[in-house]
Amino acid sequence: MRTLTLCLTFLMFCCFASAQNDSLSQKITIKLPSTLEKAALVNEIEIPIQSHSETQSVDIKGEFWDTTVYNPYKNTITEFPLNIKFEDSTYASPISRKKIITSRYGWRRGRPHKGIDIDLITGDSVVSMLDGVVRFARYSRGHGRTVVVRHYNGLETTYAHLSKIGVKVNDTVAKGQYIGKGGNTGNSRGSHLHLVTTYKGEDIHPEYLFNFDETNTMRSKDIWVTRKWTRPSYHSSRRLSKLALYETKEEALASLEKQRKVYVVRKGDTLSRISQRNNTTITAICRTNKIKRNSTLRIGQKLILEL
């Protein structure tokens, strides 16, 4: 018994001494004798120490945490470009089946479509793409049964038209954790998942942030978002926009200088065809040239396209 007490005292001393000596290397080294009789045989165990800054959690509820409204940032002013950082390089697919996008972010039937629609069958499980906390989980006008998860980098992902909500507000969820079942509630034409990505109230083109293929990867761990990627009027819901990724603030600011192109109208041209060929929108063409959507185009007419 006396030998055991001496060994325990020795271990506690070693632990304390190692913690003092290794404070800069962020680890504790404990030397353990293999047996009480053969103390010469020593095993070493290293235990890493995390600093307070590493273990301190991010308070994502600190600002604009409202569990009763869809967009608590409605009356705030956003400065561009926005910088969004990701800790991980991959996300969890919100559905288990292959992701088929049936409608993209952009202008659709004369209205802004502020997310992407992913095909599913009513009852399919829907999971959170990233770690976070549930900020909103209730029926929302237009979106039907809706879950909004705020993530630790400030990004929020919205999962709309659900048939069932499986979480409550203030629930902490992990990447890939179940949050509800897909459906067709709200203003929806057929069962699908309406996925929206927002940052401080600004809708962001989801495909600018994420690759919606089998890789389930972020497009970058450090992304700068310009106003173009938050305005549906610059995009068409029928096709994928040309994605120009900005990974530095300098690249984002340089992109704000619009490139202008003079287009000469040819036989058979329509505003729709011109917009599709030049990766722009009819709204942008009309705005720049001060014409209406139903204006008659003349062969040889010059149009200014801002690309």
Query: Residues 5-57: pLDDT tens digits?
Result: 545 555 554 444 444 444 333 455 555 555 444 444 545 555 444 443 443 46
More confident site: 200 or 255: 200
Residue with tokens 């990233």: 130
Cβ–Cβ < 8 Å for 213, 219? no
* pLDDT grade for 276, boundaries at 50, 70 and 90: confident
pLDDT in tens, 180-220: 999 999 999 999 999 999 999 999 999 999 999 999 999 99
Selection from 113, 109, 102, 103 nearest residue 143 by Cα: 113
User: How high is the pLDDT of residue 259?
Assistant: 66
Model-wide pTM > 0.85: no
Q: For the chain, what is the radius of gyration of the CA atoms? A: 27
- Helix (H, G, I), strand (E, B), or coil: what is residue 168? coil
Q: Which residues pair with 117 in a beta bridge?
A: 103, 194
**Taken in order 17, 20, 23, 26, is the CA torsion positive or negative?**
positive
Runs of H (alpha helix) within the chain: 2-21, 52-55, 206-209, 249-255, 271-277, 282-289
Dist. CA 114–CA 51, nearest whole Å: 41
Mean pLDDT over each residue of the chain, to the nearest integer: 86
More confident site: 33 or 267: 267
- Is residue 158 exposed (0-12), middle (13-18) or buried (19+ Cβ within 10 Å)? buried
* pLDDT grade for 91, boundaries at 50, 70 and 90: very high
Whole-angstrom CA distances from 287 to 188, 281, 282 are: 30, 10, 9
User: How high is the pLDDT of residue 56?
Assistant: 44
Dist. CA 75–CA 156, nearest whole Å: 17
Lowest mean pLDDT segment, chosen from 8-22, 74-88, 134-148, 199-213: 8-22
